[in-house]
């Protein structure tokens, strides 16, 4: 009977480790996503305010029009 208790504890410990790993990985992904979104919105604000005058399309600088900034 003692062997079954040991297996149950081993499984319980492994599940606890897995849950911790998943929690840490989820937080890391959330952090990266939030950083990417912040960069995206900062660029959008700069574009809307007219701070960005050109953008690269297929490697060629193209002037940003007022209509494009308003979209």
**Which residues lie closer than 8 Å to 44 by C-beta, 6 or more apart?**
none
pLDDT tens digits for range 45-69? 888 887 777 776 777 777 777 777 6
Strands, E assignment, 1-71? 54-57, 60-63
Cβ atoms of residues 54 and 63 within 8 Å: yes
- In sequence order, which ranges of the chain are alpha helices (DSSP H)? 2-48, 66-70
Which pLDDT band holds residue 43 (cuts at 50, 70, 90)? confident
Question: pTM above the 0.75 mark?
Answer: no
């Amino acid at each position: 009977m003692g062997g079954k208790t040991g297996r149950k504890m081993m499984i319980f410990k492994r599940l606890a480790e897995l849950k911790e790993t998943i929690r840490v990985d989820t937080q890391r992904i959330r952090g990266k996503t939030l950083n990417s979104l912040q960069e995206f919105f900062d660029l959008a604000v700069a574009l809307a305010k007219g701070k960005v005058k050109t953008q690269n399309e297929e490697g060629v600088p193209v002037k940003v029009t007022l209509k494009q900034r308003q979209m």
